[in-house]
Structure formats: C-alpha cells, structure tokens
C-alpha cells in the first residue's frame, strides 16, 4: 500500500486566520487526523493515542490478541469508538486497510501520525488561550470580606510550603464569584464565568468567548467535530485548559503537586450519572452557555415529551375521521339494545307511555305479529323503568 500524502492547500498566508475546510471537503487522511484531535477535546486528552488505535482496531476488526489489562483495554476500545464516530463512517474502512495491510509499515505510519495530531490540537488550544487571563474577570467582582486572607497571605503560605495546591480541592474559579459554599460543594460548581468562556473559545470561536451572541463559525471545532451538545469529558477538558491559562507552565499531566489528570478524571466521575438531577442540569447549562439557541448557533435537541408531537397532516386527518364517525352515529338506526342502554330522563316517560298505549290497542291477528308487539312493549316497559330509576 502506498503512503498517503496530505493534500496541501493553496490559501494565502496573511494576517488573517486561514479558512478551515468543512469536514466533508477534507481528504480522508485529514479527516482521520481530525479524529485524533477530537479524542483530545471531546473524550480524554491523557490517553495514549497509539494504544487507542491498537486496541480499538484489534477489537473492531476481530484480530486475535492477548489482553493483559481488561479494564485498560476496554477504556481504549471505547475511546477508539468515540474517536471514529467523530468523522465520516468511510474512514473506518481506511483504518481497516491500514491495519490489515501486509506491509507493517503502513499501520506503524498511521499510528505515529495520530499522537502528533492529538498533541497539536492540545497545544493549539493552550497557546491560543494563554493570553486570555481576562476570561477570569467578573463584571462586578466581589470585595474581600473582613478576616479573609489577602493575596499576600496566600503567597506567603505558598512560599513557606504551608499551603499545598493539589487536585483534591477545586479551584475557586469553578464557582461564580463569592458563591462558594463550604457546606455544599456541589452548589453552582463548574458555573464560574471563566469556564463557559473557555468552552466557547475552544468550540465555537475565540471571538465568541466574551460575546455569546456570536454565531458559530464555519471554521470552528464544533463544526469540524459535529458537536452541538456538551459532554462530561468536554467539561473536564475545558476546566483543565482554564486552569492552564493561569499557570506558569504549559499543558502537562502534572503541574507541581497538582495533577491535571486527577482533576480531569474527578470531573468526569462527578458528571457520570445521567439520572442525577444536578448532572443533567449542569450539562444543560453548558449546552446553553456554549452552543445555545441563538441565531446561527447549533441548537441542542429539544427535550423529549411524553407524547410525540403530531404533524399538521395527522391533526387534520384525525379531525376528519372524528367528524365522519359522528355523522355515522347520527344516521345509524337505533336498536332495542341501544335504546335500553341510552341515557334516559324523566321527561321522556309520557312519550313512552303513549307509545305503549298505542301498541296495546292495535289489533293483530297472526301470532308472529303479536310476538313482535310483545317484544316492543317489553322494551318500552324497561325504558320506562329506567326513567323511573333516573328520577
């Protein structure tokens, strides 16, 4: 199998950002590399991308292999599935061709390119976010309360190693300004204003970070990856990137005593219960804050109702059928059984008595007619008794 080469663009490089091709217009090779970028932004930035490819392809294409760690294998297979779902389905066929190629170098080449693509996505997000410390500024910041430690106090504690910052506690910017509740750590958690701003910067376009009314750009990661709903992994990635902005170091698994991986995993664990009200409300809040329902934005799917919405055609046909049924009921002859079970009121009794009297006075000669008359009289008598019951 020949080596695939990337299609080079002829866009002029100037001070403006180069326009990104829509995913459906990209060559298959470029689409595959975008799958690696999605793995970082939409699933887990700390996974070994090579292992994701090896485990996932072996599982999907039914290659015989030994699994040393079933839990780790399952985690990487899930990541492979998520990654391939982010690009057109035809790319899975291309991956299969690489994987089953008789030339081992073909698969090795693809595996070597994926980590580079994933790394470039992470670095691109970090470097473009680094200058934006202004994302953390509140419109009306709260003032320090009397007795609270000042910045000088905190700095002195850090220098003296009496205060250690690690991932066992969440950063204060995870909460809206002055709304942290030590007795309820979950209240307003992940709703600090910096987080949705970072989310919009990554997913919609940087200019929308401070202006959520901006439409989602055609060049955005949301369009490239086909995302319009926020997942727990996306929230965790946003949070880690937000913390990196105010860190002196760039993206890394660990930042001193602080583990970015532990922070990421902890957030995913907190949001990993679709039946929990707080979880669903938090993710819905992020849907609105990042993707929203404003003009030009990718609107989140409407909540499913208990009864499916009927189309205009169904409503009209149902009304037409009801009208036809009502007309048929009015023209159909009434049987003695229907008369017996029909609603009866006391005002109808004089009429029934009159009908019974007329029937009794009619002379009939043959036995068959007399039997029919007796049946009618019996029915009318029953109706009269029901009238008496209804009084």
Q: Where are the domains of the chain?
A: 23-118, 150-291, 335-390
Residues 45, 264: Cα–Cα separation, whole Å: 9
Are residues 38 and 86 in contact, defined by beta-carbon separation less than 8 angstroms? yes
Residues 155, 163: Cα–Cα separation, whole Å: 9
Tens-digit pLDDT string for the chain (391 aa): 333 333 444 433 343 444 555 545 456 677 888 889 999 999 999 999 989 999 998 888 877 777 778 899 999 999 999 998 887 777 888 888 888 888 878 889 888 888 999 999 999 999 999 999 999 987 666 666 677 767 777 778 777 777 777 788 888 899 998 788 888 999 999 999 999 999 999 999 999 999 988 888 888 888 887 778 899 999 999 999 999 998 877 777 777 778 899 999 999 999 999 899 999 999 999 999 999 864 444 444 444 445 565 655 666 567 667 877 887 766 655 554 444 444 444 555 666 676 766 666 666 556 566 666 677 767 767 666 655 555 4
Residues 203, 325: Cα–Cα separation, whole Å: 55
**pTM to 2 decimal places:** 0.65
Residues 44, 236: Cα–Cα separation, whole Å: 9
Q: Which long-range contacts (CB under 8 A, 24 or more apart) does 101-109 make?
A: 101/1, 103/1, 106/1, 106/3, 109/3
Residues 95, 361: Cα–Cα separation, whole Å: 97
């Amino acid at each position: 199998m020949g080596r695939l080469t990337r299609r080079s663009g002829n866009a002029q490089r100037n001070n403006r950002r180069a326009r990104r091709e829509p995913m459906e217009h990209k060559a298959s090779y470029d689409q595959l590399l975008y799958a690696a970028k999605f793995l970082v932004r939409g699933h887990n930035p700390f996974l070994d991308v090579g292992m994701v490819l090896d485990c996932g392809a072996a599982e999907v294409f039914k290659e015989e292999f030994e699994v040393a760690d079933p839990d780790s294998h399952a985690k990487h297979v899930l990541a492979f599935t998520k990654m391939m779902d982010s690009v057109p389905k035809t790319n899975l066929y291309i991956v299969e061709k690489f994987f089953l190629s008789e030339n081992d170098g073909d698969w090795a080449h693809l595996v070597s390119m994926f980590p580079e693509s994933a790394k470039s996505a992470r670095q691109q997000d970090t470097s473009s976010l680094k200058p934006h410390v202004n994302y953390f500024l509140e419109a009306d910041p709260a003032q320090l309360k009397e007795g609270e430690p000042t910045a000088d106090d905190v700095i002195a504690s850090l220098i003296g190693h009496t205060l250690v910052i690690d991932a066992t506690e969440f950063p204060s910017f995870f909460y809206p300004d002055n709304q942290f509740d030590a007795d309820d750590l979950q209240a307003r958690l992940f709703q600090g204003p910096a987080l949705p701003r970072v989310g919009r910067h990554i997913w919609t376009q940087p200019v929308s970070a401070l202006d959520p009314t901006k439409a989602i750009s055609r060049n955005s990661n949301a369009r490239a990856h086909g995302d319009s709903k926020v997942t727990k992994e996306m929230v965790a990635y946003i949070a880690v990137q937000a913390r990196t902005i105010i860190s002196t170091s760039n993206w890394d698994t660990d930042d001193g005593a602080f583990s970015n991986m532990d922070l990421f995993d902890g957030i995913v664990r907190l949001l990993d219960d679709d039946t929990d009200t707080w979880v669903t409300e938090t993710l819905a809040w992020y849907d609105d804050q990042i993707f929203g329902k404003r003009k030009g934005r990718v609107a989140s799917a409407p909540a499913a109702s208990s009864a499916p919405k009927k189309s205009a055609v169904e409503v009209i046909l149902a009304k037409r059928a009801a009208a036809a049924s009502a007309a048929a009921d009015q023209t159909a002859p009434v049987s003695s059984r229907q008369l017996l079970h029909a609603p009866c009121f006391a005002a109808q009794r004089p009429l029934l008595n009159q009908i019974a009297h007329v029937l009794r006075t009619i002379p009939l000669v043959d036995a068959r007619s007399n039997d029919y008359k007796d049946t009618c009289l019996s029915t009318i008598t029953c109706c009269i008794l029901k009238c008496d019951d209804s009084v």
